[in-house]
Chain A
Amino acid sequence: QVRLQQWGAGLLKPSETLSLTCAVFGGSFSPSYWNWIRQSPGKGLEWIGEITPSGSANYNPSLQSRVTMSVDTSKNQFSLKLISVTAADTAIYFCARGFPGDTAIIGLSYYYYYYMDVWGKGTTVTVSS
């Protein structure tokens, strides 16, 4: 049974850097993708980005200029950094596993589709001066 445990600073001042880490317990780091999502009253659930076990990352274009994700496979951990935070970044941040449980054959190619089946409990991050 895969479990995600996340941690990081919960109170930041404007212009500081948000830093969160998520550890994976009870399962293999591969072949899943590892995601960060945030939830705020104003914007609902917003996908921040994903990272593969090999370290390849994709980010939400709306946050791409400020986001960096990294992975440490030796510790089964992945991390999120968001620079230059403002009050608009106040939210609950979740980590989640993107599991390649769905597949499709298109032409001669085989594709995997990743849905989020395991989530961390969330970390409340408040940005305030």
Chain B
Amino acid sequence: DVRVTQSPSTLSASVGDRVTITCRTSESISSWLAWYQQKPGEAPKLLIHKASTLESGVASRFSGSGSGTEFSLTISSLQPDDFATYYCQQYKSYYSFGQGTKLEMK
């Protein structure tokens, strides 16, 4: 099975900051990686698929990059609504998720 390691587990930042979250997989998954945002009491929301393809309706301040085993999610200028938990997920071989990154206000 493909293991997914996400870092950091917690990230403190301020409105307007540029932040990056990293995801590594135990084997190459090409670009078959998605990023999700989850707020308390809600289901995960798809932000990006195929490592860098922005889902329709998602703000352009979100971007993804990477391929193979190393990936990143960048938020170019944090907005108040962005404070949430973010997960990466590989879908090359069934599905597995990273442990999550809680983005909190500094």
Residues of A at the B interface (CB closer than 8 Å) are: 35, 37, 44-47, 50, 58, 60-61, 94, 96, 98, 101-102, 104, 113-117, 119-122
**Number of contacting residues on B, CB 8 A?**
24
| Chain A hits for B34, CB < 8 A | 115-116
| Chain A hits for B55, CB < 8 A | 117
User: Is B69 positioned at the interface, with any CB of A under 8 Å from its CB?
Assistant: no
Residues of B at the A interface (CB closer than 8 Å) are: 1, 30, 32, 34, 42-46, 49-50, 53, 55, 87, 89, 91-92, 94-100
Contact A44 B50 (CB under 8 A): no
Interface of chain A, helix or strand or loop or mixed?
strand
With A61-B1, A102-B32, A119-B43 known as contacts, the answer to whether A46 contacts B97 (CB < 8 A) is yes
Contact A113 B97 (CB under 8 A): no
Give the A-B pair count, Cβ closer than 8 A.
Answer: 59
How many angstroms from the CA of A98 to the CA of B49 in the assembled complex? Answer: 12
How many angstroms from the CA of A121 to the CA of B40 in the assembled complex? Answer: 12
| Chain A hits for B32, CB < 8 A | 102, 113
Contact A58 B94 (CB under 8 A): yes
Listed residue (A45, A60, A96, A120) with the most chain B CB atoms within 10 angstroms of its CB: A45
* Shortest distance from the beta carbon of B19 to any chain A beta carbon, whole Å: 20
| Chain B hits for A44, CB < 8 A | 87, 97-100
Contact B97 A47 (CB under 8 A): yes
Contact B1 A116 (CB under 8 A): no
Q: A45-B87, A115-B34, A119-B45 are in contact. List 11 more A-B contacts (CB 8 A).
A: A45-B89, A58-B94, A60-B94, A101-B49, A102-B32, A113-B91, A115-B89, A116-B34, A116-B95, A117-B49, A122-B42
| Chain A hits for B87, CB < 8 A | 44-45
Contact B96 A47 (CB under 8 A): yes
How many angstroms from the CA of A58 to the CA of B55 in the assembled complex? Answer: 26
How many angstroms from the CA of A46 to the CA of B49 in the assembled complex? Answer: 18
| Chain A hits for B1, CB < 8 A | 61
* Shortest distance from the beta carbon of A70 to any chain B beta carbon, whole Å: 19
